[in-house]
Amino acid sequence: MKVLWAPWRMEYILSDQKREGCIFCPGEDRSQDEERLILHVGSLSMVMMNRYPYINGHLLVAPVRHVSDLDGLSQDETLDLLLTVRKALGVLRKAMAPEGFNVGLNLGRVAGAGVEEHVHFHIVPRWNGDTNSMTVLGEVRVIPEHIKETYGKLLPFFREPNPANPESGGEI
């Protein structure tokens, strides 16, 4: 028998505390970012890790403002959101060297949106051979690295200055 190891799930299973409000609304307090798996919060967009990833490095990119669809975004928010997706792709390339990506939106519950009230992109890094029959036949995902280890691997890259804007610090 093979053992699947996902130790971060036990914290969720045993927890009586379910987060109030929207998981994507970062608020002003940055002290809980690591616990919430938030890697970056800019003025208009944010990046966080998916707590229940399809694979290591599965990121979520969302506008800071609580908006349910693309039509609700301003032009500045739309541009910043896409630039933040581009930055997240670059970080994943540097930190994890994936061979490709799935990038997309699930708009509406019937389209698979788990949190349909706050629009967000999924960025899923992919490697040749990263899928197996476990997901299809057993409805099980195998995640080989602890989520906090992946967080620690990605965070320094989100803090690097943007070459297009050297004064930005970690801003996109």
CA atoms within 13 A on the CB side of 152: 5
State the catalytic residue, choosing from 40, 58, 118, 120: 120
Distances 135 to 108, 138, 140, 152 between C-alpha atoms, Å: 23, 6, 5, 26
> Would you call 37 helix, strand, or coil by DSSP?
coil
Report the C-alpha gap between 60 and 162 in whole angstroms.
Answer: 19
Tell me the helix, strand and coil percentages in the chain, rounded to 5: 35, 15, 45
120 is catalytic: yes
Q: Which residue's entry shows tokens 């409805």?
A: 139
Give the residue numbers annotated as catalytic, written as ranges: 120
